[in-house]
Structure 1
Amino acid sequence: MTRNDTFYDTLPRVGSFAALAKPDVYTPLPNDWTIGAADIVGSTDQIAKGRYKTVNMVGAAVISSQINASGGKTFPYVFGGDGATFACDTEMAALSARALGVMKRWASEEFGLDLRVAQVPVADIRAAGRDVRVARFRASDSVDYGMFSGGGISWAESEMKRGRFALSAAPAGAIPDLTGLSCRWNNAKSRNGSILSVVIEPELPGPRDAFAAVASQVIALADTLERGGHPLPPDGPGVSWPPPGLDLDAHVSRGAGSLRKRKIQLLFGNLIAWLFFKSGVKAGAFDPAHYARMVSNNADFRKFDDGLKMTLDCDPDTIATIRSLLERAERDGILRFGLFEQAEAMMTCFVPSVTQDNHIHLVDGASGGYAQAAARLKSVSR
């Protein structure tokens, strides 16, 4: 392996989320790496039809399919609610492209969704005057998430939406490897007023330090909330039976098999899991109480992907303060923003093993949070 192939493994894991507002925390990606991107066309319309869980699941499936295709290699990725963005080295690029093509085909055939997919060379991003820099945020001792800065991720997504760098769908009937992907937990109701979805993007070109200062202020306001505004209870959002995401889980995990048969299998399997969580009884190396705590610890409820995205359990006064701060910064030409309030948060999970702590939990507002907030951002963009 070259150093570029092991680049991400060598990055330090940053323990303070507030530190990630500072541009100097990030390291430039190697020039021969590639950005992969995917998003659902018309996601806001799909959410308006009540398909927000499906939109989230397909967005998370992009990440799951890439993790499974990578053969255990670590790489940075960001969940955006209705899609995902990630970076991969030269060794992984071909496998990554195939996995994206399969996802495009599967999203269409399984759910009738048009999933845009693209690969954008980092070298092309830099030639366009943007950069891609990355950091690793340590959510817990067992899980970290990639964070991006430099404007290159936003540029790549914009170019994808213009039809550039597009990848074709795989042949009919292609099925992604989504082993470990599920959405079996209950939604988490707000305990403080509202689940606030926050999307903030810097105005470019613009002073990086000014955006960093405002992002730091928003994070500081979030830190005044209980548990920093974490939208999930400390012991996880709880489970019920039958699980609320049963139908989606069956679509995701059935492969080429019968949907009805898979639902029956899942009903039985989830009944057993529900009994363990309700009773607290351990089963070998599986400790349900510990697992539920790690669900909350590992959640990705805040992230940087050129801008700042957060899913916060927020009281009305703090929401008003955040809004006022962002409106002032927008008038000053520092940023653009979108906020969206809803009653609950939801998450989609990727679980390699229930006996290890490296399971990841991708959080969004339960009424289409990030996509809805981003739509409001677009409506006021200059």
Structure 2
Amino acid sequence: MENDGFYSTLLPDPEFAGFSRADRFTALPDDWVVGVTDIVNSTGQIAAGRYKAVNMVGAAVISSMMNGLNGRAFPYVFGGDGASFAVAPSDRETANRILATLRRWVPVEFDMELRAALVPVRDIREAGHDVRVARYAASEGVDYAMFSGGGVSWAEQQMKSGMIEVAPAAVLTSPDLTGLSCRWSNIPAQRDLILSLLVEPTGNEAEFVQVADQIVRLAEQLDRGGHPVPQEGPGLQYPPPGFTLEAHTMQTRWPLALRKVVLAGRTFVSWLIFALGIRMGSFDPAHYRAGISRNADFRKYDDGLKMTLDCDHITRDRLVETLEQARQDGVIRYGLHEQDQAMVTCIVPSAVREDHVHFVDGSAGGYTMAAAQLKS
């Protein structure tokens, strides 16, 4: 049972610079299990204007796992059109049940197909890859997992090729998505553009570390390191742009029209509290909104470097020049996508605690479109 508590023994590190180095990570125990998910034809969904729905389904994987594990810490990474995570062997059946539920539920509520798979870490290592994990403290209230070693990417490739899968549940039930929301307005670029960037190693890890560190240093020359969420937090409008999507996530058999009526009342009260700055007990709307910025996951390592940056043209050009040289040298492959806004998708266990998490992506495809370019 000592491996079950493995993740809680890792200390969150507040320094993002240098996270590309292997010595910042710890190997997952052999008996742990990696979960991977993604949306089939996510690029087509985004081309049809459904980028918010794509992000909502990706975040639903994490939200349902959080609730299924009763708030216990576990490593996860949001990827835009999916998510990856790892759990102890004692939680494997819970993860299998949740993924099976989601695979049956997502096509009904969102008219998308969700792929999902669970892979033992031991099998990943036998295939010649590794899974290492670290915890990055984005703020005093929230930390996010980082993965390295190539094992998670290998598991995703096996899933997409049809080699492994978690089958959809036989019976349709609603997952527990308590806390999942998409109420904040998109965030316009404060500089020239929102840049979604993916950088993956192609071989030598030491050479990749040098390139990744150079990219991070360039980004950190931007104000607030290119953080796309203003310090005071994002804007809020009524009705919120993700209103219908959130109605789909409500855990009830009510017709969608009735869910919208109930949610309209809830979101109006929420909007009024933030618009008027009404403090309720220990809840301070201004503090909470600023917490969205503090807790946002706009940069991460997930078998490579992923960043969503509020960027100017000069820095963008410097980044591309550095990336292109490293690509020509055979050190990396990369993808990037430009848009004029960022967006956040939120999981809020409690509005009066500091551990609300906020996943940042570009508003016009972001990581998914950058990954499509990387694949080419």
Whether 1:200 aligns to 2:203 is no
Rounded Cα–Cα distance in structure 1 between residues aligned with 2:174 and 2:116: 16
Indicate whether 1:225 and 2:206 are aligned.
Answer: no
| 1:373 alignment partner in structure 2 | 370
2:207 corresponds, among 207, 210, 217, to: 210
Opposite residue 210 of structure 2, the aligned amino acid is A
* Alignment root-mean-square deviation, CA: 0.8
Superposition TM-score, scaled by structure 2 size:
0.99
- 1:343 match: 340
Query: What CA distance in whole angstroms lies between the structure 1 residues aligned with 2:252 and 2:119?
Result: 29
Does the alignment pair 1:71 with 2:76? no
Alignment partner for residue 319 of structure 2, among 303, 313, 322? 322
* Contact 1:75–1:87 under 8 Å retained in 2: yes
Aligned 1:203-352 pairs, distance under 5 A: 203=202, 206-352=203-349
Distance 1:351 1:249 in 2: 13
2 CA distance for matches of 1:343 and 1:255?
36
Contact 2:177 2:251 (8 Å CA) reproduced: no
Partner of 2:55: 56
Shift of 1:137: 0.3
The TM-score normalised by the length of structure 1 is 0.97
Deviations 1:150-170 (A, max 9, x none): 110110111111112211001
Q: Is the 8 A contact 2:297 2:360 kept in 1?
A: yes
Identity %: 53
Residues 74-122 of structure 1, C-alpha deviations (whole Å, 9 max, x = no match): 1100000000000000111100011001011111111111110000110
Note if 1:128 corresponds to 2:124.
no
Q: How far off its partner does 1:15 sit?
A: 0.6
SS in structure 2 of the partner of residue 20 of structure 1:
coil
Structure 1 residue aligned with 2:177: 178
Give the equivalent residue in structure 2 for 1:29.
28
Code of the residue aligned with 1:369 in structure 2: it is G
Look up the SS of the partner of 2:167 in the other structure: coil
Distance 2:241 2:204 in 1: 45
Q: Is the 8 A contact 2:176 2:251 kept in 1?
A: no
Deviates more, 1:37-46 or 1:252-261: 252-261
Structure 1 range deviating more: 237-246 or 77-86:
237-246
Report the residue type matching 1:123 in the other structure: R
Structure 2 partner of 1:188: 187
AA partner of residue 246 (structure 1) = F
CA separation in 1, counterparts of 2:270 and 2:108?
30
- One-letter amino acid of the structure 2 residue matched with residue 133 of structure 1: R
Pairing partner for 1:361 from 358, 363, 367: 358
Is the 1:254–1:262 contact (alpha carbons within 8 Å) kept by the matching residues of 2?
no
Per-residue CA deviations over 1:255-283 (Å, capped at 9, x if unaligned) read 32121111112211111111111221201
Partner residue in 2 for 1:80 = 79
How far the C-alpha of 1:254 sits from its partner, in A, is: 4.7
CA displacement at 1:207 relative to structure 2: 1.4
Gaps of 5+ in 2: none
Contact persistence 2:175–2:251 (CA under 8 A):
no
Q: What per-residue deviation string (whole Å, max 9, x for no partner) do you get for residues 179-236 of structure 1? A: 1100000000001000000011110xx2111101110011111101111100111111
Equivalent in the alignment of 1:109: 108
> Partner letter of residue 293 of structure 1?
A
Instruction: Report the secondary structure of 1:19's partner residue.
Output: coil
Pairwise CA distance, 1:21: 1.6
SS in 1 for 2:124: helix
CA distance in 1: counterparts of 2:325 and 2:252, whole angstroms: 50
**Structure-2 separation of matches of 1:146 and 1:335:** 22
